[in-house]
Amino acid sequence: MDEAVALLGRYGDDAALYAGGTELLLAMKEGLLRYGNLVNIKTVSGSDRLGYDTSTGELHIGPAVAHRALELSPEVAARFPLIARAESTVANVRVRNVGTLCGNLCFAEPHSDPATFLLLYNASAEVQGPAGTRTIPVEELAVGPYETCLEEGEILTSVSVPQFAPDMMSAYQKFGYHQRPTIGLGVAIRLENDSVAEARIAVGSVGPKAVRIPEAEELFLGKTVPDVLSSGTSVLDEAGKMAAEAAQPMDDLHGAADYKEHLVRVFLERVFAEAVGAAPTAQRSAA
Amino acid sequence: MSINQQSATIRIELTVNGREVSLEIQPNLMLLDLLRDRLSLKGAKRSCDLQVCGACTILVDGKAVSSCTYLAYEARGADVLTIEGLADGNTLHPMQQAFIDNGAFQCGFCTPGMILAAKSLLDETARPSEEKVKEYMEGNICRCTGYRKILEAILDAAGRSGGAPVRG
C-alpha cells in the first residue's frame, strides 16, 4: 500500500487509483478522464480481504473487494443481511463480478446503493496517504457528485461496518428505470417496549450525495409502529418532507426534483413498513 | 474502443477457449477488441459499450464480465471462454442445445452473451428457481424482447442437468 501511495505521489495528476474499473474505464473510454498511469490496487496483497472481526463486531471491506464477494459471502449474509441483499441488486452480475465497493464510494457517483446503505450502519472509511492514515465517516467521504474529501495521493484502504444491535430491524429499497438507481432509501429501527428507541434513515441517489436525516429520525422516537403507519398520522408526512429537503433532489435524466421529493415520501413509508415487518401499506398519494 | 494515450506495449499470456496465446498489446486495449480484432473471435458483440446490455459477455475464469470495459491486461494468466469455445467438438453445450430446442433467438445478436451468462449461472447454481434466473439474467438485454423463450431454454438446460422440471 505504501508503494501505491508513493506511485500516486510520483505521477500526480497523470495517475489514478484503479480497482474494478467499472466506472473509471467507462469515463476514460468516453474521454472524460485521461490518465497516463493506472495504479492497480488489486495487486496489493490483502486488498481483497473481506473479514468480520468478532471482537469488535465490525466487517472490514478491503479496497479490492468486489460487489459479488459481498453478495455471496455467508458471513455477510448471516451478520449483515441487508448488505448481502442490497449488493445482489447492484447494477448487473458482470459489474458486480468486477466492480468494488470501495471504488464505488471513491468514484462518488451520486446514484449509488453502497453510498446509501452504508450510512445506516455508521460505517467508517480508513484512508492512507502521504501524511499517514486517518479514519472518516463514510457519510463525509463524498462531498458531491464525483467528488470526495480524499486528498491528493490518499487511498481508501478499508471500509469498516459495525454490526447492528441484534434487535435492530432494517430494510433498503431502490427504484428506477435506469441501470443506476433513481432513489435508494434505507431505514433501521429499534423498538423498546413497542416504541421506537432508535431510528436511522438514509436517502441516496436523488441528490448530490447520500445523506442521513437526523431531524426526521427524531420524529420517530417514542412512537409505536401503528402510530407511524396509521392513516392520518403526520409522522411520515413530516419526516418525508424533511428527508426530501435534506436529500436536495436534483433534476437529471432520472427525473425532476419534485418527482424525486415525491419518491422520498413514498419510499420512506414502504421501507419503514418493510423494516418493521408490517403489511405493505396501501400506496397513498403524495403528501 | 481503446482509451487515451498510447504507451509501450506489454506482452500477456492467456488461455482463450482452451488455446494458449501470447500477445503483445497496448496496456489500454479492451478485452473485446483483443478477441474480435486480434483473435478474430466475433461471437462477443459490441453494443452499448457501457456494461449495460450484456452482448459482449464472456467468461474470465468462469466469471461473466463485460469484455467491452475490461482491460485485456486483466486477463493475463486467465482462462477466457467465448461462445466459440463452448461446444465440445461437434457436440453443442447443453445450454446451446436448449436455446435451439426452445427457439430462444430472434435476431441472435444477444445470444452469445445470453448463453455464456446462463452457463455461468448454472455453474454456480445448478437448479435455479425461475425467479433466480430472471434476477441473474437481468443485465442481458434482448432487443427483440424474446425473454420468455430464453427463460424457458435456461430452465430446460437446468432440468437436463438434473434441475427443476421445465415450465412454460
Contacts of A25 in chain B (CB under 8 A): 3, 30, 69-71
Residue B49 at interface with chain A, using a CB cutoff of 8 Å: yes
**Which domains are delineated in chain B?**
10-85 (3.10.20.30), 94-160 (1.10.150.120)
pLDDT reported for residue A254: 93
| CA–CA distance, B49 with A127 (Å, rounded to integer) | 32
pLDDT reported for residue A285: 42
| CA–CA distance, A102 with A49 (Å, rounded to integer) | 12
**Residue A79: in which H helix or E strand, if any?**
helix A74-79
Cβ A92–B52 below 8 Å, yes or no? yes
Question: For the segment A7-33, what is each residue's pLDDT rounded down to a tens digit?
Answer: 999 999 999 999 999 999 999 999 999
Q: Report residue A188's pLDDT band, with 50, 70 and 90 as the boundaries.
A: very high
DSSP H helical segments within A99-220, as ranges? Answer: 101-107, 113-120, 138-141, 214-220
Average pLDDT over residues A198-219: 97
The ipTM is 0.92
Average pLDDT over residues A62-74: 98
> Is the pLDDT score of A287 beyond 60?
no
pLDDT reported for residue A278: 86
Using DSSP's 3-state secondary structure scheme, residue A214 falls into helix
Cβ A95–B136 below 8 Å, yes or no? no
Interface of B with A in 74-133 (CB under 8 A): 74, 117, 120
Residue B139 at interface with chain A, using a CB cutoff of 8 Å: yes
| CA–CA distance, A98 with A82 (Å, rounded to integer) | 21
Angle, helix B94-101 to helix B111-124, in steps of 10 degrees: 120
Cβ A22–B69 below 8 Å, yes or no? yes
**Which residues does A166 contact at the CB level (< 8 Å), separation at least 6?**
none
> What is the mean pLDDT of each successive set of 10 residues along chain B, which is 168 residues long?
68 98 97 98 97 98 98 98 97 97 96 98 96 96 96 94 50
pLDDT reported for residue B161: 61
Q: Report residue A178's pLDDT band, with 50, 70 and 90 as the boundaries.
A: confident
DSSP H helical segments within chain B, as ranges? Answer: 31-33, 94-101, 111-124, 130-136, 147-160
Cell 437448479 found at: B127
Q: Which letter, b or e, does each residue of A116-141 get, where b requires 16 or more Cβ atoms within 10 Å of its Cβ?
A: bbbbbbbbbbbbbbeeeeeeeebbeb
Count of A–B CB contacts within 8 Å? Answer: 63
Q: Report residue A280's pLDDT band, with 50, 70 and 90 as the boundaries.
A: low
pLDDT reported for residue A57: 96
Residue A95 at interface with chain B, using a CB cutoff of 8 Å: yes
All three cell numbers of A54: 468478532
Residue B48 at interface with chain A, using a CB cutoff of 8 Å: no
Question: For the segment A232-248, what is each residue's pLDDT rounded down to a tens digit?
Answer: 768 999 999 999 999 99
Q: How far is A35 from chain B (nearest CA, A)?
A: 7
| CA–CA distance, A70 with A84 (Å, rounded to integer) | 6
Average pLDDT over residues A175-188: 94
CB A80 within 8 A of CB A59: yes
Cβ B65–A29 below 8 Å, yes or no? no
Question: For the segment B83-127, what is each residue's pLDDT rounded down to a tens digit?
Answer: 999 999 999 999 999 999 999 999 999 999 999 999 999 999 999
Which DSSP string corresponds to A24-63? HHHHHHTTS---SEEEEGGGSTTTT-EEEETTTTEEEE-T
**Which domains are delineated in chain A?**
46-162 (3.30.465.10), 169-276 (3.30.390.50)
